[in-house]
Amino acid sequence: MSRKVKHSSNWYKAVVKLAKQHRRVANIRKDALHKLTTYLANNHGIVVIEV
């Protein structure tokens, strides 16, 4: 986006494209964590977190 003219139509397209990529990465991470916690909950009786 640094190479685009700020607030031009191509700049807005780049903003949308980057936001989609960020959202995709966030969803992939969220899905992996959800799958891990579901696996742990289903396959282990007690889960302990030590601080």
pLDDT (tens digit per residue) in 18-49:
999 999 999 999 999 999 999 999 999 898 98
What total of structural domains would you count in the chain? 1
Query: For 2-28, what is the mean pLDDT?
Result: 97
Looking at residue 14, its pLDDT comes to: 97
pLDDT tops 90 at residue 3: yes
Looking at residue 19, its pLDDT comes to: 98
Looking at residue 1, its pLDDT comes to: 81
Domain encompassing residue 28: 1-51
Q: Where are the beta strands (DSSP E) in 1-51?
A: none
Task: Tell the residue number behind the tokens 């780049």, with chain if given.
Answer: 14
Looking at residue 11, its pLDDT comes to: 97
> Encoding tokens for residue 48?
């302990």
> Encoding tokens for residue 18?
């980057």
> Encoding tokens for residue 44?
């282990």
